[in-house]
Amino acid sequence: MLPFITQSKKLSAGETVIFLVNSVNDLPRDIFTTPELNYLSSSLKEKDKDLASINRLGKWLFVYRVGNGKTTPKKLEKFRKAGDGLLATLNGSKIVKIVISDLAARPSEALAMAEGMALGNYRFLKYVRKDVLEKEPSLKTIQIISKSLKSEQVERLNILCDAVYRCRSLVNEPLSSLNAEKLAREFERMGEEAGIKVEVMNKSRIEAMRMGGLLAVNRGSADPPTFTIMEYKPDKAVNKKPLVLVGKGIVYDTGGLNLKPSAAMDGMKSDMAGAATAATVVYAIALAKLPVHVVALAPATDNRPDGNAITPGDIITMMDGTTVEVLNTDAEGRLILADALSYAKNFDPMLVIDVATLTGAAMVTLGMIGIAGMHAGAGRYFRMVCDAGDTVHERIAELPLWDEYADLLKSEIADLKNIGGRYAGTITAAKFLQHFTGYPWIHLDIAGPSFLEKKDAYRTAGGTASGVRLLFEFASRLAESKQR
């Protein structure tokens, strides 16, 4: 359950509190005894120690020293992790509510701490039948007291955390509960809640659109594909042309006839993380009423090795007429994304950002930490996206898209090959996608950070919703920059 982040003007007696202070002298004397203050002062004198605590029979009082200096992305991440670090104590003590008292007048740090708590408190317990109450976190409410904090900031953080929770839960759902059609229905429900126009194309419409990439990947599936369009267009949008987000929606990836090794299939329910990210970002933008015209496109299918599945050597015709020699059926994500990128031209977009768990090579390069990013004709926007990523600690490493990489995709018998060989796999995958653009375009490969085997601070095990906070931050900055 998502902790509900609220505001208050004063502290009530007997509450569990974390005080953000510049020094122990900031603490209220009517709450702490002199021995307690002496203990806290002594504890915080220790080198590199910023946190001290007092346990009053299960009611905790924490003191966190903010420190001097400007608010930086690095400092905000420190506070997110600090908030997450308190969860073991809070949930272990069955604490239902915690108050963050910002005595240091650092609202951004207070919000970051609340964000770390809220995101770290996520659990996917839908299918747990035994001991579920023991596994369910006790923490339900995070209250912030800060004279400098605006209610709009708290409201947006609640919306963002809700979007992250939704994205994570979609990614964590098994294929048995979330095929392409069910994923599209989830997007429709989100649209109804947030006032977003949602259109779902079924297989016959996809065939009519001649989306050869999506149809080819779907040939091995017992379930039909879907192509979902979500559009939020406020009356006073700051952008004359829409921002289009394209998300890869492979609800399960076996590799097709180029079957993955069994160990490599364990987390492949997460191969639709890009589609979940794109959809939940539009959901958050709509709920926050950001004045940004935004569209999400989500092609979806699973990739299986049925008797009708595409085979290495097949040649398919994409939506834009490009012919592609399929040399590896496990390079399927780029095929469905290519059709979506072609379809995006119908919106005459200001910018298109695709987000996808596209290549294992991205994980080899950046591990589970960074996002591989590339762009064409979107230099200013790419810098804004990277800055947004630094702020929310979803950092982007830029890789080149030099013309020479296109040579690796040349085919003797078709316009393109769907793989470029052993080397530079993350780049050649993006270079393949670039062929279908022709507008300002950014590619984000989230294969590494989108799904974790074990918890990493507030990034919980399983789906992480990588890209949701980044793209929401970018949309917020886009709205503000256009309004000046």
* Residue tagged active-site, from 75, 81, 241, 260: 260
State how beta strands 59-65 and 17-21 pair.
Answer: parallel
Same domain, 348 and 257: yes
Please check whether residue 459 lies inside any domain of the structure.
yes
Closest by CA position to 292, among listed 356, 347, 239: 239
Between CA 121 and CA 139 the distance in angstroms is 8
Closest by CA position to 242, among listed 410, 478, 480: 478
- Distances in Å between the Cα of 31 and the Cα atoms of 35, 59, 211, 356, 480 are 12, 13, 66, 51, 41
Does the pLDDT at position 484 exceed 60? Answer: no
Going by pLDDT thresholds of 50, 70 and 90, the confidence category of residue 483 is: low
Same domain, 140 and 167: no
Same domain, 383 and 408: yes
Percent of the chain with pLDDT over 70: 99
- CATH number, domain at 20? 3.40.220.10
Find the domain containing 131 and state its range: 4-149
Among the candidates 117, 149, 181, a domain finishes at 149
Between CA 415 and CA 435 the distance in angstroms is 10
Mark whether 304 is an active-site residue.
no
The token pair that represents 465 in the structure block: 């919703």
Does the pLDDT at position 47 exceed 80? Answer: no
Between CA 379 and CA 196 the distance in angstroms is 29
Same domain, 198 and 129: no
Q: Confirm whether pTM is higher than 0.85.
A: yes
Please tell me the total count of domains within the chain: 2
pLDDT, one tens digit per residue, over 283-320 is: 999 999 999 999 999 999 999 999 999 999 999 999 99
Beta bridge partners of 246: 297, 354
Are the C-beta atoms of 247 and 336 separated by less than 8 Å?
no
* Residue tagged active-site, from 334, 395, 417, 469: 334
Between CA 173 and CA 154 the distance in angstroms is 29
- Single-letter code of the amino acid located at 92: G
Between CA 374 and CA 371 the distance in angstroms is 10
Q: How many CB atoms lie within 10 A of CB 46?
A: 9
Lowest mean pLDDT among 4-13, 101-110, 386-395, 451-460: 4-13
Between CA 353 and CA 355 the distance in angstroms is 7
Closest by CA position to 459, among listed 122, 170, 160: 122
Mark whether 205 is an active-site residue.
no
Same domain, 115 and 186: no
Same domain, 380 and 463: yes
